[in-house]
């Protein structure tokens, strides 16, 4: 029975928990500082969030920040189906979503993989044409730098999107070359093959 003027709350008869981790989808390394939000849950969870925010309007019981190892956790959740989203500020990664069903007295686990914005391509030497190893590849307006492998391939990952960014390629005894690249958030763009001319 609910007394007039009081918010009904569910009895805490459950001890379900949710433990998860945020990872870079390309390298599977932990991502810290990711904002993880419960975007939907059972009715008892929604009612609890509403009740908490009535007393503390700025409270965000539906949000956690992933720690240095990429972990996040909620304890003492009602059993039921949950959907979560994970995002980082900026355009280096696309947001990720995931769902799971929690069972009372159990721990549910969820891995959220955020796709990085990346560019990949090949660098060759001209006259004679051959893959060029250890060429320096960077975006002219940032510190995003990489080097080509033995087969001339390179990948720059977790980079900011720009309408058209200048990819600069340099190597000893070769003329530095730039190429415009358009990136899409959370996508891997394959740049045209770059051929460097000997000095």
Query: What dihedral do alpha carbons 129, 130, 133, 134 form, nearest 10°?
Result: 0
Count of structural domains, the chain: 2
Domain enclosing residue 43, as ranges? 16-114
User: Whole-prediction pTM value?
Assistant: 0.84
Per-residue pLDDT for 12 more than 90? no
The three-class DSSP label of residue 166 is: strand
Q: Could you tell me if residue 3 is inside a domain?
A: no
The CATH code of the domain that includes 81 is 2.60.40.1120
102 shares its domain with 122: no
Region 25-45: mean pLDDT is 96
Could you report the per-residue pLDDT of 91-100, keeping only the tens digit for each?
Answer: 999 999 999 9
Are 101 and 92 in contact, with CB atoms under 8 Å apart?
Answer: no
Region 74-96: mean pLDDT is 95
Higher pLDDT among residues 32 and 48, named by residue: 32
100 shares its domain with 127: no
Which residue do the tokens 């799971």 mark?
Answer: 100
- For the record, the structure tokens of 157 come out as 């990952």
pLDDT confidence of residue 11: 57
Could you report the per-residue pLDDT of 181-194, keeping only the tens digit for each?
Answer: 999 999 999 999 99
């Amino acid at each position: 029975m609910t007394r007039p003027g009081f918010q009904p709350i569910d009895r805490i008869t459950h001890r379900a928990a949710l433990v998860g981790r945020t990872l870079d989808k390309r390298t599977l390394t932990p991502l810290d500082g990711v904002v993880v939000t419960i975007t939907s849950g059972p009715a008892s969870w929604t009612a609890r969030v509403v009740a908490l925010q009535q007393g503390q309007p700025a409270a965000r019981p539906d949000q956690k920040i992933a720690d240095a190892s990429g972990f996040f956790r909620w304890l003492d959740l009602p059993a039921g189906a949950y959907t979560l989203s994970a995002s980082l500020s900026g355009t280096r990664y696309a947001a990720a979503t995931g769902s799971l069903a929690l069972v009372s007295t159990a721990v549910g686990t969820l891995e959220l993989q955020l796709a990085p914005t990346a560019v990949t391509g090949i660098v060759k030497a001209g006259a004679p044409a051959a893959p060029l190893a250890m060429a320096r590849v960077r975006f002219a307006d940032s510190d995003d730098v990489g080097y080509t492998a033995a087969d001339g391939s390179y990948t720059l990952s977790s980079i900011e999107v720009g309408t058209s960014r200048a990819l600069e390629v340099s190597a000893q005894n070769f003329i530095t070359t730039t190429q415009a690249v358009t990136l899409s958030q959370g996508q891997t763009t394959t740049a045209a093959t770059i051929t460097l001319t000997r000095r």
